Amino acid sequence: MNAWDDQRVRDAVTQTGRSKLLIGGLWTEVCVMMPALDALKAGYEVYAVTDAAGGTSIEAHEMAVQRIIQAGVMPVTWQQVMLEWQRDWARQETYQAVVDVVRQHSGAYGMGVAYAKSMFGSAGEGGEKSNGAERSGTAFGQTVTVTDTQPGAEASHMH
């Protein structure tokens, strides 16, 4: 139930050399809470991805989240994590992949990104324009070309 009880897990975490942990799991009140509290005691800075877990009930989930927050674990959502890793829309390496995830899975935020793109074009996002209308870069090892188009039209494609 508590992955932190497994020496192999602790060894693997130690071998990364990192001091921050992101934890998600099946049951918040067991798979997230227990290792999060133990890792916190072991000196790690622990973040619980609260929407990457669920409880046996809504109350069980909410009480487990409250308990870990009171202990010092920082709650985050999957979207917060992804956008913190992206940092800036000008980062070409991951731009297109992140935008695709946002548009497909981020509800109102995804709709807002699509709306802003249609209203303002690509100015300020996705890096520098290479020829005034098109920019190229890579996302997860694939070449990505972002082309300015008319509002409402799809503005990117992968080669």
- The residues annotated with a catalytic role in the active site are 31
Distance CA 130, CA 127 (A): 9
Buried b (16+ CB within 10 A) or exposed e, 38-55: bbbeeebebbbbbebbbb
Q: How many residues would you count in the chain?
A: 159
- Give the integer Cα–Cα distance in Å for 59 and 142: 43
